[in-house]
Amino acid sequence: MNLRSTPNIWFRYLLTTLSPRWNVRFLYRHCHHKKLNLDHPQTMDEKLQWLKIHYYDQDLVKQCADKYREREYVEACGLGHILNPLLGKYHSASEIPWEKLPEKFVLKWNFGCGGNVICPDKSRLDIPAAVRDLNRFGKIKFHLLAAEPQYDIDEKLILCEQFIETDDGQTLCNCAFARSIRACNDKD
């Protein structure tokens, strides 16, 4: 079963709307091929599913799931110096001043995961495709998709951050860890 097909996405939205517990159980069974034990979770994955249902809608978890608001939390902890510089924030892809962006940057929504525009060379960026991808990703309701209430963000924003690379030009995408993550994701 392709969980990413449009009918399955709507089915998962409906399951979460009716009962987040049902969606969590459905996804767990699909991924692990066994019943989820929410009464006495034993594995790390079972415990994470329990947290989704019982804890993840609390304010601090929601604040830290929001990539913009979590910056406030990190700064309040006195660790603002470790944050990647924020170059801009936009409510939609049509607001992005492409001509004013630096040669290298990253665009990402403040909710969910993936769906980022990583631009190591602005001269090679397909801006209409980037706008299309950002608009498409901005419509996804992550809080309903996987019964993750922490992603029910009040204000959706596109964040522009500085592109991270080492002094010798290596990027996070060049490291062995990133390659192993991509290889794992390609199996889906």
Query: How is residue 151 annotated by DSSP?
Result: G
Contacts of 167 (CB under 8 A, 6+ apart): none
Phi and psi, residue 54, nearest 5°: -105, -15
Q: What is the amino acid identity at position 131?
A: V
Sheet of 158-162: strands edge to edge?
86-90, 158-162, 105-109, 117-119
* Sequence-ordered list of residues with C-beta below 8 angstroms from that of 62, at least 6 positions apart, any chain: 56, 149, 150, 152, 153
Res. 3 pLDDT band, cuts 50 70 90: low
Residue 128's pLDDT band (boundaries 50, 70, 90)?
very high
CA distance 66 to 62: 6
DSSP state of 72: H
Domain extent listing, the chain? 6-164
Angstrom distance (rounded) from CA 56 to CA 58: 5
Of all helices (H) and strands (E), which one includes residue 159? strand 158-162
Q: Is pLDDT at 98 greater than 60 in this prediction?
A: yes
Q: For residues 101 and 90, what is the distance between their CA atoms, to the nearest angstrom?
A: 13
Dihedral sign (CA 171, 76, 92, 98): negative
The token pair that represents 69 in the structure block:
């608001």
- Give the model confidence (pLDDT) of 22-46 as tens digits: 999 999 999 999 999 999 999 999 9
pTM of the model: 0.78
pLDDT digits (tens, 9 = 90+) for 45-95: 999 999 988 887 788 888 989 999 999 999 999 999 999 999 999 999 999
| Residue corresponding to tokens 């199996």 | 187
